Amino acid sequence: MTFLAIAALLEEPSAKAPLLERPGILTGIAAILSAIAWPTLVAVVLYWFRRPIGSLVSTAVGIAASSSKVKIWQIEFDRDVQQQLDETSHEALSRLPSISEQQIGSPIPHSEVQAATRVRSLVDEAPPGSVRSEIQESIRQRMLGFAKEYESTRAAMHAGPDRTRAMNAIAAKMRTLALAADPFLEELARDNDSPGRRLAAICILQLVPHLDWVPWLADRMAVEQPFVFFHASVALLSAVRKYGAQQQELLRSAIDRSLAQVQSFGENYDKNTVRSLTLALSELETS
């Protein structure tokens, strides 16, 4: 009830009665007091608690600003990683699938090593805590995706240069993430049901040799397809170049076993793998 409504009540014939006995007067006054009381109460509360409320508002604004910065950082991270992957895979697709003597000696292109270093630096620059954990998980998920891509590519395409070129591009992407994906090495290597994941583990070992995994690399020659065990031979070559002088016995045993296994396939043995292993053995002898 408004002030005008109360004024109208005062004009009615019943206005001759005492003020508080007139119909509707008390109701109108109560309505006015109610309308005034709540805004007044809110104003008093806001004034009384103005400092803590201001602090809460400032905190909320800060959290929102921080979240926006994190989101922007994650978007930029994904963009930068994808750029590195696109460049290395495109370069791999442009190369001939056949491997020259020079490529046997330098099987991992320098551009892929640079890309892998760039990706790892991006991960290291991530804010610690949940943000970095999410970034590392995104690396893991990408590697798992490349493993599936390898398996589906090998199953869908006929053997030949085009399939080899396509699988080389996938291996290039795996190497691009290899340094950042090192924490997931064991998970990938121990998956007996996924040759793609084992290939991802091998690509990690090409850039990050681990002595503990040298026997496992040698085992690949007996259980994997030629494309995968060739990359295992490249990982053994990387291990020789890092540890050869200190671990000759371990490495020689693994290379000898690998050579014997590959050559046991007779006329169908993979010549590129033999060339890679022979080079590893030669470098081991002179280390």
- pLDDT tens for 25-79 read 556 566 665 666 666 666 666 566 666 656 655 554 444 444 444 556 678 888 9
pLDDT at 284: 94
Domain assignment of residue 137, yes or no? yes
The answer to whether residue 277 sits within a structural domain is: yes
Q: Which residues of the chain have pLDDT under 70?
A: 1-73, 100-102
pLDDT at 67: 47
SS3 state of residue 28 = helix
pLDDT at res. 28: 58
Q: Indicate whether 118 belongs to any domain.
A: yes
pLDDT score recorded for residue 66: 45
- Domain C-terminal end among 160, 180, 200: 180
Distance CA 183, CA 251 (A): 23
Residue 227 within a domain: yes
**Residue 273 domain-assigned (yes or no):** yes
Instruction: Dig out the tokens for 104 from the structure.
Output: 């046997």
**Does residue 81 share a domain with residue 156?**
yes
Answer yes or no: do 90 and 164 share one domain: yes
pLDDT value of residue 84: 95
Region class of 188: left (phi > 0), else alpha (psi between -120 and 50), else beta:
alpha
Same domain, 164 and 82: yes
pLDDT at 287: 81
Element (H, E) at 47: helix 25-48
C-alpha 213/C-alpha 216 separation (Å) is 5
* Tokens linked to 224: 């994997």
Distance, CA of 156 to CA of 67 (rounded, Å): 43
Please tell me the predicted confidence (pLDDT) of residue 64. Answer: 44
Residue 63 forms part of a structural domain: no
| Residue range(s) defining the domain that contains residue 238 | 209-287
172 and 215 share one domain: no
- Give the pLDDT confidence score for residue 126 in this predicted structure: 84
| The total number of structural domains that make up the chain | 2
| Cα–Cα distance, 274 to 52 (Å, whole number) | 74
Q: Are 164 and 221 contained in the same domain?
A: no
111 plus 164 within the same structural domain: yes
What's the confidence (pLDDT) of residue 239? 97
pTM (predicted TM-score): 0.76
Would 250 be classed as within a structural domain?
yes
Q: Answer yes or no: is 36 within a domain.
A: no
Contact 9, 15 (CB under 8 A): yes
